[in-house]
Structure 1
């Protein structure tokens, strides 16, 4: 009787290990699918081998890290420039009392990066031009049918740094290629 009890226990442990391994594989497959779905144009990657998909995901993450670093550096330079302009303006007003002491109006600046169907929009305005951010969102969503995936801002002194990420649904390339031009024209028309 001992040998059959031992075989049953081994058989149960073997089934338990198989079930655990099956659940682990299902969970990993689900996590892989979720990771791949976060990549731009993920539908075209479904036919690729899993190692290739993981390589593409790793490369995309590295590319995003480089972009984040570039944006941090750009923001640091813009803040430094803004601070320098303010100090320079204050210094020149002290040198001559006939000079207008008000800080000159900063022209709004916009930068647009396209990554597939995703647009990354970076807008720097003065506090008096912060309405532009809402207007850009309105144009993107109502007129162009874009889906906003991230929107935010930060204020440093009198400069407002806006960031906006949106997904532009598939439309003809001509209409989509006019989006950056249209937004830049809008920003440059405001003084």
Structure 2
């Protein structure tokens, strides 16, 4: 009978050791997870939080990162579709030989994209185009141009300065047409 009790005691000791090792491992993993959360994300000090609170902050931080990834993927797809549309517009312009200059203005909420295609013979000041956008309440974020054959392709990305006020894109388009034509 003594053998049975010693084997049951040995299994209890083994279970206790296994459980202690499991808890130590879990504590280490929780510490490692909590250390990955930026300190500015957690309002109170990390030292003052319980392990459960630290896990809650980590979980909400992970959810926030997932939402950010989804937003960025959406913006990436939007940019790809815009790029595809711009390439199509350029291809169509070169293929059809439409009357130049050609202005395309896209209003995407707080972002405005202006595509302008002109011939080499049509002279206008690119800075005047930028001035019109700025006067109408947009801040130019980036601009570029390239020359292909006898056509000049201008691309301007602007952002609304004051989101509550916005930009009247029809007025911008009208002023650009007056300038270019």
TM class by shorter chain equals 0.5 to 0.7
Deviations along 1:35-92, whole A, 9 cap, x unmatched?
54x6xxxxxxxxxxxxxxxxxx64x65444333222212211222345xx9xxxxxxx
Alignment of 1:151-170 (within 5 A): 151-168=143-160, 169-170=162-163
RMSD: 3.3
Distance 1:149 1:159 in 2: 24
Unaligned runs of 5+ in 2: 1-12, 37-57
Unaligned runs of 5+ in 1: 39-56, 86-105
1:32 aligns with 2:76: no
TM-score norm. by structure 1 comes to 0.59
TM-score norm. by structure 2 comes to 0.61
Tell me which of 4, 10, 17 is aligned to 2:29.
Answer: 17
Alignment of 1:86-101 (within 5 A): none
Using the TM superposition, give the Cα deviation of residue 160 of structure 1 relative to its aligned residue in structure 2, in angstroms.
Answer: 0.6
Q: Give 2:80's aligned residue.
A: 65
Deviations along 1:138-186, whole A, 9 cap, x unmatched?
2212x22312223111110121101111112336468554222222222
Distance 1:133 1:12 in 2: 66
After TM superposition, where is structure 1 displaced by more than 6 Å over at least 4 residues in a row? none
Aligned length: 145
The structure number with the bigger radius of gyration is 2
Using the TM superposition, give the Cα deviation of residue 135 of structure 1 relative to its aligned residue in structure 2, in angstroms.
Answer: 1.4
Q: Give 2:51's aligned residue.
A: none
Aligned residues of 1:132 and 1:187 also touching (Cα < 8 A): no
